[in-house]
Amino acid sequence: MRNRHILVLVLAVGLLIAVAPLFAHHANAVFDTERRVTVKGTVVAWLWANPHCLLRFDVTDDKGEVAHWVGETQAPINMIGNGWRSDSFKSGDEVTVTLEPLRNGKPGGSMLSVVFADGKVLNTRSSGIYKPDASKPDERKPEEDPK
């Protein structure tokens, strides 16, 4: 009887180990982190929700064709410290979005910054880490804490 309990325990642990990757959070493999794309568009919807916030916006090209973009950020709790809120966007807002595009070429990506028509800027990363007008993240070292 004792051997049976041990066998069941070993099988259960083995099963948990085997399915653990199914519960892991997905990586950023879908984004081309070596590229930056900046597009101007009009906000359609702002979804402030877990596990990621999503900004839907429409971009009109030179030919008048509209592409429906989706920009992704982190979870709301991670965005609050950078000034993002559930009411940061409203439908019709004109925005310039800089993002790391999707590798598959579809209109979307991981947002780095949003600049509003009035010049207000929201960054997805800590202040000073990303400049919306730069082609690469700012690689300066943060100032040392004067202790």
Kindly list the domain boundaries of the chain, sorted by start residue: 37-123
- Give pLDDT, residue 70: 97
Distance CA 88, CA 83 (A): 9
The reported pLDDT for the residue numbered 3 is 72
User: What per-residue confidence (pLDDT) applies to 49?
Assistant: 94
Question: Would you write out the chain's pLDDT as a tens digit for each of its 147 residues?
Answer: 667 766 655 555 555 555 444 444 456 788 999 999 999 999 999 999 999 999 999 999 999 999 999 999 999 999 998 999 999 999 999 999 999 999 999 999 999 999 999 999 999 876 544 445 544 443 333 344 343
What is the reported pLDDT for 8? 57
pLDDT of residue 26: 54
Tell how strand 94-101 and strand 54-60 pair up. unpaired
Fold exhibited by the domain 37-123:
OB fold (Dihydrolipoamide Acetyltransferase, E2P) (2.40.50)
What pLDDT score does 126 carry? 61
